[in-house]
Amino acid sequence: MGAFGGFGTGRVAPSLNAVGALIEPSRGLIELYYSADVMNDAIDRLAEVGAATVRVDAGRWTPDSALDELAKALKFPDHFGRNMDALADCLFEVVSGEYGFAGTATRRVLAIYQFEAFAIGFPERSAMLVSALYESAIVALKLGAPFLVLLQSDDPDLHLAPVGATMIGWNRAEFQRSRRS
């Protein structure tokens, strides 16, 4: 599939309320995608309602490089401590709008491509990362500034552990396994 894929058309749109404000994608605050085209289409539709997107490729991440890549992409400050606690702190500052996204967007999307490579290679670290991202997305909702995480996987059978009691599931267009092939 490759990082970032092409831009598809005619795909399922994220959920929007009556005034067009971004609530969440079709299934949750963190959502899995198989097709980069389907994910890119969702990003395009989110952009139509004012969401800013940061895209990163996890295809070659190690535990250390994942932190470095996220820090660079989300413009973490120089004092970032390069550990999971520091990541959680910086993500809180991202969702509160201190840095991370260009402009003044109050709707934010973090798109991570080829996440399966990291999730399969480093399952414990990827679970910690997904948990930190999910907690940040919850805080963002409380602040009234949605933060969504879209995870693209070239593995159609990727299964991520739940965060607390919340399942990290596939998007509505690819929820059925038969649509991920």
For residue 103, is it within any domain? Answer: yes
In a domain, 19, yes or no: no
115 has pLDDT over 90? yes
Which tokens hold the place of 85?
A: 């606690």
For the entire predicted model, the pTM comes to 0.85
Q: Does residue 22 belong to any structural domain of this protein?
A: no
Mean pLDDT (the chain) is 84
Q: At CA 102, angle to CA 101 and CA 106, rounded to 5?
A: 60
Position 155 scores a pLDDT of: 97
Kindly state whether residue 178 falls inside one of the protein's structural domains. Answer: no
Domain membership of residue 35 (yes or no) is yes
Domain span at residue 42 reads 29-157
Confidence (pLDDT) at 5: 38
64: in domain = yes
Q: What one-character DSSP code corresponds to residue 163?
A: B
Q: Is 1 part of any domain?
A: no
Tell me which of 175 and 40 has the higher pLDDT. 40
What CA–CA distances, in Å, run from 4 to 20, 27, 54, 55, 91? 26, 21, 11, 8, 23
For residue 4, is it within any domain?
no
User: What's the CATH number where 84 sits?
Assistant: 3.30.370.10
Report the number of distinct structural domains present in the chain: 1
Residue 118 has pLDDT above 60, yes or no: yes
